[in-house]
Amino acid sequence: MLTLGILGSGSGSNMQAILDAISRGGLSARIAMVLSDNPDAFILERAAINGIPSGVIDCAAHRSKFPESVQQHTARKLQDAGVDLVCLAGFMRLVKQPLLDAFPSRIINIHPSLLPEFPGVEAWQQAIAAKARETGVTVHVVDSGMDTGPIILQEAIPVLPDETPGQLHARLQIVEHRIYPEAIKQYSRNFKL
């Protein structure tokens, strides 16, 4: 059984989708730890409701950076929890060494675009601004770049005429919740975790 660690900054809806897939028997895994850089994030409450150990990644002194010392501490916490695979679920900081060194090719991320298009934040707004005809969701292995690692799974959806960024984001989240558990399953088969 795959042991997962989840890093998130927000509501944790993708973590919930993973939990639901585990409960249904669609994913042979368990979530051993949930960590958030936002002490008020609902993902921490979801973890508590489900009896999953959780904690806060203390980046308070750094608005957007993920300092090396904090990444070292995060890596140790995940390793101590026996995590095989780290899943970023709306985690809004760029992961670098030493976390990448601690989990080589074992950190994955879900992103609301068809990478390499629209990397970075608010990809749904980027798609609307670019008048894209389609966008989608990508699950990829995390490397040292921003949304640049090897792709595990993608699914495209059309951008509807006169669609607002909020409407597109809501439709993308439905896709995210469906494909993230599937991508974890595919990844675990291909990488023999």
Q: Would you name the residues annotated as active-site residues? A: 111
- Taking the CA atoms of 55, 93, 169 and 171 in sequence, report the sign of the dihedral they define: negative
Q: Are 47 and 12 in contact, with CB atoms under 8 Å apart?
A: yes
User: What are the helix (H) ranges across 113-158?
Assistant: 123-129
Give me 17's structure tokens: 């989708």
CA atoms within 13 A on the CB side of 2: 25
C-alpha span between 170 and 15 (Å, rounded): 16
Looking at the DSSP bridge assignments, the partners of residue 34 are 6, 54
Give the start-end residues of each E strand in 61-133.
Answer: 85-88, 107-111
d(CA 56, CA 175): 28
Q: Which two tokens stand for residue 107?
A: 């950190």
The answer to whether 72 and 96 have CB atoms below 8 angstroms apart is no
